[in-house]
Every structure is written in structure tokens, then in C-alpha cells.
Amino acid sequence: MAYRLMLALGILVLLALPALADNPEHRLNGDLEAGASTGFSVALDGTSAAVGAPRAGADDRGALYLYSQNTDGTWREAAAVTGLGSAGARVGTSVDLSLPRAVVGAPGQRRATILTLVEGFWTVSQTIEGNDGFGTEVAVEGSTVLIASIDVDLNGSVSVFQNGPAGGWPLITTLTSPDTTLFDRFGDALAIDGNTIVVGAPADSIAAAGAGAVHVFTLRSGTWQRTATLYPSDPVRQGAFGRSVSIDAGRIAVGSDEGVYIFARNSAGFWVQETRIEASIAGTLFGFDVALVGERLVVGEPGSGPDGAVSVFDRQPAGQWLPGGTVSPVPDPANPGAFFGSSVDLAGDLLLVGRPGTVSTAVGGADLYSLPLLIGEPPPLGPVNQAVGFFDPKSGLWALPADQASFYYGVPGDIPLLGDWDC
């Protein structure tokens, strides 16, 4: 295994990663219905998980499965919500969790439903209807709910709802793209963290035709205002920058067809590109979905190999994002083409990965993993950015500079950093 790090350019090129886990600790499979696309959307928050199945039912009514963690660490199905939509509603196309609330989209019926967890039971709080494509994407944090609409012309908008004193969910504002051209898919990806909303527009054509953009909105004096528009440092035609977004603790992760970009808010309050992570093999859909929590990033790669994969990255104290390993699904000959990694979410050390399948006979679901603790940065081995030597795997020997007689590559108590490094 090898990695090539190009930190001076702010680019990490991913060549290979050690496996973190293959067998999930828990499998959240809904009703095991073939062709239901179970795992098309997933969400995770603390001790609750949500899994969408937009093709459930003979007429694509869709379903939402909600899970709770038991005191012994196991997980149980807390609710199977199957009566939220009519034929073609596709309930479960999108889902998000922020306890005690869950939001699920049904764009086929132009609606989204807010559910609340009360004394261990999930109940419907309100169903909201909108225009074409309403419910294509959803997000929730605290008392704020975001619901995206993308119409037949691929124009998008994002409706912002706030839980009112009387318990209702009035519309506060509607966010739109400053790009007046059609087909930008504004709202194709959503994320919210405190007073910041992030909206992906992966077909935006300002930087280049279909290169994509990400819009940042900030709550100021009670009003949501657009405060930044992010573009990739290397825009390409049809790059789909903004196909997935995640925000946490002053950083934004953006998925695209060209990889994953990480932006950080500097001391002046501006969002600047911190790095770009790309896979060495094209066509694996690296960045199809992303989840960022603290110093950890997970990236879905559903086109990797026969069934897909998820890559894990950890940010080091010096600022580098280093590979932490991969998670791959358990091979299942009866269900080929799992599309594992098409949806991901992260909460603490828990990783939830959707595998909706790509064939009509596939029995989809979602897998829950417990990831190892963040990998600590190795102690310095001399002056910063100075190579200590080169390792020849064929001979098993290290080559050292002529003026260097020895060096230390580890001490007792070090946390092992998996993989072979060529820096």
C-alpha cells in the first residue's frame, strides 16, 4: 500500500488505504424488501438512526425506518413509517435527524414530514407541502428545518422553517441562487450548523459549464443572508462541485466529480480552500456523499469495485488531512452492486453507510460501524519537511542521508499509523 501526499499544493492524492472494517456491527435493513432502495438516504444522531427506502411498496410510496440504540449497545427498529405518502411519493428520498426530530422528504408528492421522538415513540408533528420537487433534500438542526425543491427545469430553492412558540412550523424565508440561469440544481445538497446554512448547486455554470458552486448563508439580525459563494480552485466542465456538502466546527466539506474539497473559515471570517482530496482512479464516484464531524471526514465512493467503499480521513494537529483507512461492504453474491457509500453519516465514532443497490432485485439496507479513535499525529522525526530516509519494500532496507547515522521511527506507546508512506 502507498500514498502520495502533495500537501504543499493543498492536495491529497489517494492511492490506497488499509481496511478499517468489513463486517458491520449492526445491519439496519428495514423490511428486507427487494428493490425498495433501502439505504438511499441515511441519518445518524447520537442513539438514533434513520434509513430511507424511497422505492418501498409496489407503487413506490416509500418508507422510513427509525432505529434506537439499546443500553447494551445493540440497535432495534423503533418505527417503520410506511403511510406518509400515496403512490409515487418516494418517501425516504431524503432524511435527516436532529434529536428529538427527524425530517423525511417525499418529492414525488411534493411534501416533507417532520416527526418528533416523545418518550420513546416517533409521532408525526407536521407535514409540509410545496412546489415541484419539494422534499428532494432536507436538513434539520434544533428548531430549524430546511427543505429543498428542484423543479423539472432543475431550478432549485430552499425553504427555511422555524419551530414556533405554538408548536407549528411557519416558513421563515426561501433561499435562492444568485445565478439566474437554468439547471443549476440549487438545493441538491444541504447542511446546517448553528447560524450557517450550506447549499450545493452542482450544475451551476458561473465558473464553467456545470462546474458547480456552493452557497453559504448566515443568520444575521434574524435574517438569513448569503455571505459567500464557494467555487473549486480548479473548476472543470460538468465537475458537479456541490453534489454533497457537510459543515461542522468552522469547516465545510464539498463533494464533486473531481474529489472532495475542504474549506475553513479564517480569522477574518472568509471561507478559504484548505485542501483537496482526490482518488487516483477515475469513475469511482469518490465524493458522492460526505460527512464531516470535528477532525474526521468520511467520503462515500459507491462506484469503487463491485460494491462501493467509504474512505476515512483524520485531520492532524499540523493541519494535514491524512488517510485513516477504508470501510467496505460484506460481499453478497445474491445482491450485487450494493452502491455502498452512496449515503453516509457520522456521529462520534459511529459511521452509518447506505447500500441501496443498483438492480431491481437488490435487498438494500444500511450498515453501522464503530470507527477507531482519531489517529494521532506521529512525533516529529527531525526538522519540519525534511525527509528522514526512503524504505525499499523489496529489500526491507532504509536508505539514509550520508550525514545521518540513525533515526527513530517509533517509540513504545506510539499509536500505529496503518499503511506504507511515501512522503
Q: What is the pLDDT of residues 360-377, one digit of tens each?
A: 888 899 999 999 865 443
Beta bridge partners of 26: 368
Residue 377: the pLDDT is 39
- Judge whether 216 and 194 are in contact, CB under 8 Å: no
> pLDDT > 90: what percent of the chain?
66
pLDDT at position 265: 95
pLDDT in tens, 106-118: 999 999 999 999 9
CA-CA distance, 92 to 42, in Å (whole number)? 9
What value does the mean pLDDT take over residues 169-174? 97
CB neighbourhood size of 404 (10 A): 11
At 374 the pLDDT is 56
Helix, strand, or coil (residue 212) = strand
Q: Would you say residue 8 has pLDDT above 50?
A: no
Q: Look at residues 234, 154, 162 and name the one whose alpha carbon lies nearest to residue 200.
A: 154
- Structure pTM? 0.84
Distance in angstroms between the alpha carbons of the first and the last residue of the chain: 13
- Residue 11 pLDDT grade (very low, low, confident, very high; cuts 50, 70, 90): low
pLDDT-derived band of residue 72, with 50, 70 and 90 as boundaries?
very high
- Residue 89 is predicted with a pLDDT of 96
Residues 6+ apart with CB under 8 A from 156: 133, 136, 148, 149, 150, 176, 177, 184, 185, 186, 187, 188, 201
Note the CATH architecture for domain 4-387. Answer: 7 Propeller (2.130)
Do 289 and 345 touch, CB atoms closer than 8 A?
A: no
Residues 6+ apart with CB under 8 A from 410: none
Q: Which of 381, 380, 329 is nearest to 358 (CA)?
A: 329
Q: Cell for 269?
A: 471570517
pLDDT at 142 exceeding the cut of 90: yes
pLDDT-derived band at 284 (thresholds 50, 70, 90) equals: very high
What contacts 172, CB < 8 A, 6 or more positions away? 160, 161, 162, 224
Mean pLDDT of 179-192: 88
C-beta contacts of 334-338 below 8 A and 24+ residues apart: 334/363, 335/361, 335/362, 335/363, 335/364, 336/306, 336/307, 336/362, 337/306, 337/307, 337/362, 338/307, 338/308, 338/362, 338/364
Say yes or no to pLDDT of 243 above 70.
yes
Q: What is the DSSP letter of 329?
A: P
Residue 332: pLDDT above 90? no
Q: Please report, as a single letter, which amino acid is at residue 211.
A: A
Cα Rg of the chain (Å, integer): 22
Residue type, 87: A
pLDDT of residue 337: 87
How much is the average pLDDT of 26-50?
95
Question: Is omega for the bond preceding 100 within 30 degrees of 0, making it cis?
Answer: yes
In 130-193 the beta strands, taken as DSSP E runs, fall at 137-141, 144-150, 156-162, 171-176, 189-193
| pLDDT at site 369 | 95
From start to end of 119-164, where are the E strands? 121-129, 137-141, 144-150, 156-162
How far is residue 314's CA from residue 417's CA, in Å, rounded to a whole number? 11
